[in-house]
Amino acid sequence: MATATAVTPLPKTPRAAEAPAGVTVTDPALVRRAVKAAALGNAMEWFDFGVYSYIAVTLGKVFFPSGNPTAQLLSTFGAFAAAFLVRPLGGTVFGPLGDRVGRQKILALTMIMMAAGTFAIGLIPSYASIGVGAPLLLLAARLVQGFSTGGEYAGASTFIAEYAPDKRRGFFGSWLEFGTLAGYIGGAGLVTVMTAVLSSDDLLSWGWRIPFLIAGPMGIIGLYLRMRLEETPAFAAEAEKAEAARAKVPLREMVAGQWKALLLCMGLVLVFNVTDYMLLSYMPSYLTSELKYDETHGLLVVLGVMALMMIVQPFAGALTDRVGRRPVIAAGCAGFLFLSVPALLLIRNGSLVAVALGMGALGLLLVCFTAAMPAALPALFPTRVRYGSLSIGFNVSVSLFGGTTPLVVTALIGVTGNMMMPAYYMMAAAVVGGFAVWRMSESAGRPLPGSAPAVEKR
Query: Of 47-61, 127-141, 155-169, which range is least confident?
Result: 47-61
Residue 368, pLDDT score: 97
**How many angstroms separate the CA atoms of 138 and 294, rounded?**
28
Of 277 and 339, the structure prediction assigns the larger pLDDT to: 339
Q: How many domains does the chain have?
A: 1
pLDDT more than 90, % of the chain: 31
Question: Is 19 contained in some domain?
Answer: no
Looking at the predicted structure, is the pLDDT value of residue 103 above 70? yes
Mean pLDDT of 83-101: 86
226 within domain boundaries: yes
Give the pLDDT confidence score for residue 1 in this predicted structure.
Answer: 40
pLDDT at 378: 95
Contacts 24+ apart (CB under 8 A), 135-138: 135/63, 135/64, 135/75, 135/79, 138/59, 138/63, 138/79
More confident residue, 314 or 24: 314
Q: Which of 218-232, 236-250, 285-299 has the lowest mean pLDDT?
A: 236-250
Phi and psi at residue 246, to the nearest 5°: 50, 45
Size (the chain), residues: 458
Q: How wide is the angle at C-alpha 112 spanned by C-alphas 379 and 193, nearest 5°?
A: 95
Q: Is pLDDT of 4 > 70?
A: no
Of 230, 208, 195, nearest in space to 31 by CA: 230
At 27 the three-state DSSP class reads coil
Please give the single-letter amino acid code of residue 40.
L
Q: Is 291 helix (H, G, I), strand (E, B) or coil?
A: coil
Tell me the pLDDT band of 16, cut-offs 50, 70 and 90.
very low
**Higher local confidence (pLDDT), 175 or 303:** 175
Q: Return d(Cα 248, Cα 250) in angstroms, integer.
A: 6
Q: Confidence class of residue 60 from pLDDT cuts 50, 70 and 90?
A: confident
In sign, the C-alpha dihedral spanning 457, 374, 230, 7 is positive
> Residue 36 has what pLDDT?
87
Does residue 376 fall inside a structural domain?
A: yes
Residue 58 belongs to a domain = yes
Mean pLDDT of 256-264: 89
* Predicted pLDDT at 253: 76
Higher confidence at residue 127 or residue 389?
A: 389
> How far is C-alpha 47 from the chain's CA centre?
11
Poorest-confidence range of 35-39, 238-242, 371-375, 416-420?
238-242
Higher pLDDT, 77 or 109: 109
pLDDT of amino acid 363: 95
Least confident of 16-20, 58-62, 366-370, 377-381: 16-20
What's the sign of the alpha-carbon dihedral 283, 287, 291, 292? Answer: negative
Containing 17, the helix (H) or strand (E) segment is none
Q: For position 11, what pLDDT does the model report?
A: 38
Asked if residue 178 lies in contact with residue 170, where contact means CB atoms within 8 angstroms, the answer is: no
199 pLDDT above the threshold of 80: yes
What's the confidence (pLDDT) of residue 329? 98
Tell me the average pLDDT of the chain. 84
292: left (phi over 0), alpha (psi -120 to 50) or beta: left
pLDDT-derived band at 452 (thresholds 50, 70, 90) equals confident
Of 274, 275, 294, which Cα lies nearest the Cα of 284?
Answer: 294
What pLDDT, on the 0 to 100 scale, is given for residue 311? Answer: 95
Residue ranges of the alpha helices (H) in 87-214?
87-101, 103-121, 127-130, 133-149, 152-163, 169-197, 200-202, 209-213
In angstroms, the CA 396 to CA 390 distance is 10
Strand-pair partners of 454 = 24
In a domain, 74, yes or no: yes
Residue 458 lies in a domain: no
The lowest-confidence range among 296-300, 365-369, 437-441 is 296-300
Decide: 84 and 402 in contact? Cβ < 8 Å. Answer: yes
Contact in structure between 16 and 7 (CB atoms under 8 Å): no
- Residue 215 belongs to domain with CATH number: 1.20.1250.20
Residue 41 has pLDDT above 60, yes or no: yes
pTM metric for this prediction: 0.84
Name the more confident of 72 and 374: 374
Query: Would residue 205 count as lying in a domain?
Result: yes
Q: Which of 35-44, 87-96, 282-291 has the highest mean pLDDT?
A: 87-96
Tell me which residue range forms the domain holding 81: 27-239+248-441
242 pLDDT band, cuts 50/70/90, is low
pLDDT of residue 72: 65
Segment 332-346 mean pLDDT: 96
